[in-house]
Amino acid sequence: MFRFFENLVDPYKPYAMNDTPPKGLWPFLRDYVREFRGVFTVTALFSVGNGVLDVGMLWYLGRLVDMMTQTSPAEFLAAHWLDLVLVAVVILFIRPVVAAGSVALLHNTILTNFGTMIRWRAHGHVLRQPVGWFESDFAGRIANRIMQAPPAAGDAVFQVFDMAVFAVTTFVGACIMLFDADPRLMVPLILWAMAYFALMRWTIKRAGPASTAASEARSAVTGRVVDSYTNIHSVKLFANHGQEMDYAREAIEGARTAFQKEMRIVTVMDIVLNLINGLMILSVAALAIYLWVHGLAMVGVVASAVALVLRLHSMTFWIMWASTNLVQNLGTVAEGLETIAQPITLVDAPEAPALQFKQGLIEFQSVSHHYGRGAGGLDKLNLVIRPGEKIGLVGRSGAGKTTLVKLILRFYDTEEGRILIDGQDISKVSQESLRRVIGMVQQESTLLHRSVRENILYPNPTAGEEAMIAAAKKAESHDFILDLEDPKGRRGYDAHVGERGVKLSGGQRQRVAIARVILKDAPILIMDEATSALDSEAEALIQKALFGVMEGKTVIAIAHRLSTIAAMDRIVVLDRGHIVEEGPHAALLANGGLYAQLWARQSGGFLGEDIEEEV
């Protein structure tokens, strides 16, 4: 039975991705609601059925009292035994079936699938955001919104059916029942309803913004706390425990203050609700007794009317809390939309074809990119890298080396000019096909918090054990991997490396990353200080392995340690976004330009940063 309800909607079904999702709450939710239309319709019918049965039982209570007071016990049983049997059937069979259907649809179909669908699609949307988007926000805050908003949306839908539909049905049924008994009994109920909905409107109007503010404050706390945990080495290294506590306390206090404002609204609501409920109970009961005393109503009317208002009294607190929770959940979703509804600014061209790799010719044609600042980055750069050519990129910090690499990978789009690979504009082909032909080893490679096996096989999960081990051996990492053991007892290639690979040394982490790139075997290879984290002995071994991997590939290597790129076919020297020199190592030394100065002023094999600006 559970699987039937759980599988009524597939949260992972294929869908049309939207690069610019609507930012409004209802327009955003509309696409998800559309997938659940049939389920919502049936759930609403079950909720109405629950409300009708609930009021019907109170109505029958009044009828039962009248029947019992008007006849003797023997006459009562003889005349009304069929009534009692039918009511028993309703209570024992029909009501449980309706309740079970309502509960199963709410809990097993809607709650488990609605939020899951939103989270799945939101995660997919966020993963498609460009690198620069992630660099502008806390990873913790992004994750917090992905985790909070979808279940909040599911809870909001749950409240609509569990509370709103049931409550409306119950109130309408109560009005009909009291009108049937005596129309005058409706007057205090209608007056109470007016006061109740005025209070609800007052509460919702204030609870919505308060809830959004509280949710934003909680996200800020998460962002700051996760930032501290992610950078725990720096926190410990600089002995800044107190500073981090103060940094967190500021956000935590902001969250507490926002929550206090939210709770003040709830307290006022609770006090006023108690008052108007007391007035409703007293007025309906007093009026019913008055009608009975004057012979205008039977005793059953008094019994059912009092039972009804007592039932409404117990429901009103639940309804008000549910309504407040509904608004709070919607506030959480609205806050989450600031992340999960952000438009994707770096997208594939419509019907973008896959890159057709042929030889590996890379061309930069008047490329400029300044990160929107008008300075820094690259400025009208022209560069041709021939198929199979191995070039080194050299320059002071900020010269544009990293920008050039990010543009090749299309982590950013060029602001001017274009980049071609084998004659194909990389902005016109799909991003995934572009990055499949490029392998990169970064200066500070990070690993996924998974096993060593999963990390090495990440670019090609079907490569197999032999290929994985061969790549690890080429990267001089196989031996130390066999000695690894994590806190859960997993050993060797099954050992987990920790978040960002923190359980490995810098050199070990770099060698696993190199093994990963070796396994990828992409025809274009980019190395950004690939061996900087290694000791001299390991570096010599890895350099040998990398030169073997470079065979037949187009290679771009960024280096501060110039000795690592001296053997490249050509060295390109960047300064302030321009190419100021290029050529083989020996020719550049003979020219006596910037490269020669950098070579002469190296200290310990690294570029000096104190070179005069004049070249």
Is the model's pLDDT at 407 over the cut of 80?
A: yes
The radius of gyration of the chain's CA atoms, rounded to the nearest angstrom, is: 35
pLDDT, one tens digit per residue, over 266-289 is 788 888 888 888 888 888 888 888
Residue 579: its pLDDT value, please?
A: 92
- d(CA 393, CA 395) in angstroms, rounded, equals 7
* Predicted TM-score (pTM) of this structure: 0.74
pLDDT (average), residues 171-180: 76
Token couple for 251 = 């956000």
| Range list for CATH 3.40.50.300 in the chain | 354-437+525-533+553-607, 445-521
Is the model's pLDDT at 45 over the cut of 80?
A: yes
Q: Sorting pLDDT into bands at 50, 70 and 90, what band is 535?
A: low
- d(CA 284, CA 58) in angstroms, rounded, equals 15
- d(CA 425, CA 419) in angstroms, rounded, equals 6
The closest of 431, 414, 419, 406 to 353, measured between CA atoms, is 431
In total, the chain counts a number of residues equal to 615
Q: Sorting pLDDT into bands at 50, 70 and 90, what band is 605?
A: very low
Is the model's pLDDT at 608 over the cut of 80?
A: no
C-alpha 180, offset from chain centre: 53
Token couple for 137 = 């926000």
Q: Sorting pLDDT into bands at 50, 70 and 90, what band is 538?
A: low
Residue 442: its pLDDT value, please?
A: 81
- d(CA 5, CA 3) in angstroms, rounded, equals 5
pLDDT, one tens digit per residue, over 384-400 is 999 999 999 998 878 88
The closest of 475, 480, 527 to 467, measured between CA atoms, is 475
Phi then psi for residue 385, to 5 deg, are -115, 115
- d(CA 298, CA 282) in angstroms, rounded, equals 19
Helical ranges in 128-185 per DSSP H: 131-134, 139-159, 166-181
Name, of 43-57, 343-357, 420-434, 558-572, the range with top average pLDDT. Answer: 420-434
| Range list for CATH 1.20.1560.10 in the chain | 2-340
375: Cβ contacts below 8 Å, ≥ 6 apart: none
Q: Give the architecture (CATH level 2) of 445-521.
A: 3-Layer(aba) Sandwich (3.40)
pLDDT, one tens digit per residue, over 440-484 is 888 777 788 889 999 999 998 888 899 999 999 988 889 999 999
Strand partners, 580: none
- d(CA 428, CA 353) in angstroms, rounded, equals 8
- d(CA 554, CA 568) in angstroms, rounded, equals 11
pLDDT, one tens digit per residue, over 84-135 is 888 888 888 988 898 888 889 888 998 889 888 988 998 988 888 888 888 7
Residue 534: its pLDDT value, please?
A: 63
pLDDT (average), residues 198-204: 80
Q: Sorting pLDDT into bands at 50, 70 and 90, what band is 345?
A: confident
Its CATH class, for the domain covering 2-340, is mainly alpha
Token couple for 483 = 């000695």
Whether residue 51 contacts residue 166, with contact meaning beta carbons closer than 8 Å, is answered with yes
Is the model's pLDDT at 604 over the cut of 50?
A: no
pLDDT (average), residues 171-200: 80
Whether residue 424 contacts residue 474, with contact meaning beta carbons closer than 8 Å, is answered with no
The closest of 354, 379, 347, 353 to 366, measured between CA atoms, is 379
CATH superfamily of 354-437+525-533+553-607: P-loop containing nucleotide triphosphate hydrolases (3.40.50.300)
Helix/strand number for the chain, H first, E second: 22, 10
DSSP codes of every residue in 452-469: HHHHHTTT-TTS-HHHHH
Q: What is the largest CA-CA distance in the chain?
A: 123
Is the model's pLDDT at 142 over the cut of 60?
A: yes
Whether residue 244 contacts residue 229, with contact meaning beta carbons closer than 8 Å, is answered with no
pLDDT, one tens digit per residue, over 208-239 is 788 778 878 888 888 888 888 878 867 877 78
Whether residue 439 contacts residue 528, with contact meaning beta carbons closer than 8 Å, is answered with no
Residue 610: its pLDDT value, please?
A: 45
